[in-house]
Amino acid sequence: MKVIAVLNQKGGSGKTTIATHLARGLQLKGHSVLLVDSDQQGSARDWRAVDEDNPVPVIGLDRPTLDKDLKSVSDKDYVVIDGSPQATSLAISAIKAADFILIPVQPSPYDIWATSDLVDLVQQRIEMRDGQLKAAFVVSRAIQNTNIGKEVATALLDYNLPVLETRVMQRVAYPNSAALGKTVFDTESPSSNAIQEITALVSEIQIFFG
């Protein structure tokens, strides 16, 4: 079982959008998945509830015992944790549970600076696990035809974590699919940019698992 935690205490950075899409993308590649909603607001659970035919199983684990509670789930290829907007005990237990931590950041220096507490926690845990834990940033909600600025690229580099090559762009297809309790895989044509970027994201993350 491989556990991917999508974390960033900043609300609106795209955690739920990315977590739901990663789960569905991995499932469409033939893997068994479980999406864990660690946000007390329950956005992933709300998403799951819109469409009774939604094929992604979702459970809510929004307590700081998440890492221990997850140990009873072992029959899935992948568990994707949708992070909560907190840098406290809940985030720490998600970090403990994870084999790979994905940090979505909007391409603005303010958003990057706001991740510094999380990055510290993640770095400490990486050292403790002696390289067994991996982590990366993904640029999220990037606006078309704008370069992410030099300042943004430099600020990200300062954190000493890799930045995925794949970026998730700002696209109406994401909220439109969420409103139907679906993902872009189920609402867009296979050649759409949204499906292509999520497919690339899934593949790039799977490389970290070797």
Give the HSE-up count for residue 4: Cα atoms under 13 Å, Cβ half-sphere: 31
- Report, in Å, the least distance between residue 202 CB and ligand ADP: 15
**What torsion, rounded to 10 degrees, do the Cα atoms 146, 151, 155, 156 define?**
20
Cα 39 from Cα 6, distance rounded (Å)? 11
Residue located via tokens 């009873």: 72
Residue 43 vs 106, nearer CB to Mg ion = 43
Instruction: Indicate the length of the chain as a whole number.
Output: 210
Alpha helices in 6-115 (DSSP H): 15-28, 43-50, 66-70, 89-97, 109-113
Q: How far is CA 178 from the centre of its chain?
A: 15
Q: Which does 47 bind (CB under 5 to 8 A by kind): Mg ion, ligand ADP, none?
A: none
Q: Which does 170 bind (CB under 5 to 8 A by kind): Mg ion, ligand ADP, none?
A: ligand ADP
Q: Which of residues 24-43 bind ligand ADP (CB under 6 A)?
A: 43
According to the binding rule CB under 6 A, does residue 100 interact with ligand ADP?
no
- Report, in Å, the least distance between residue 155 CB and ligand ADP: 19
Please identify which residue in 3, 4, 9, 15 interacts with ligand ADP, judged by CB under 6 A: 15
Cα 174 from Cα 194, distance rounded (Å)? 8
DSSP state of 88: S
Neighbouring CB atoms inside 10 A of 40's CB total: 13
Cα 140 from Cα 13, distance rounded (Å)? 7
Please identify which residue in 5, 8, 13, 15 interacts with Mg ion, judged by CB under 5 A: 15
According to the binding rule CB under 6 A, does residue 13 interact with ligand ADP?
yes
Q: Which does 26 bind (CB under 5 to 8 A by kind): ligand ADP, Mg ion, none?
A: none
Residue 27 vs 43, nearer CB to Mg ion = 43
Q: Which of residues 116-155 bind ligand ADP (CB under 6 A)?
A: 141
Please identify which residue in 168, 198, 202, 205 interacts with ligand ADP, judged by CB under 6 A: 168
Judged by the rule CB under 6 A, the positions of this chain that interact with ligand ADP are 11-17, 43, 141, 168, 170-171, 174-175, 178
Judged by the rule CB under 5 A, the positions of this chain that interact with Mg ion are 15-16, 43
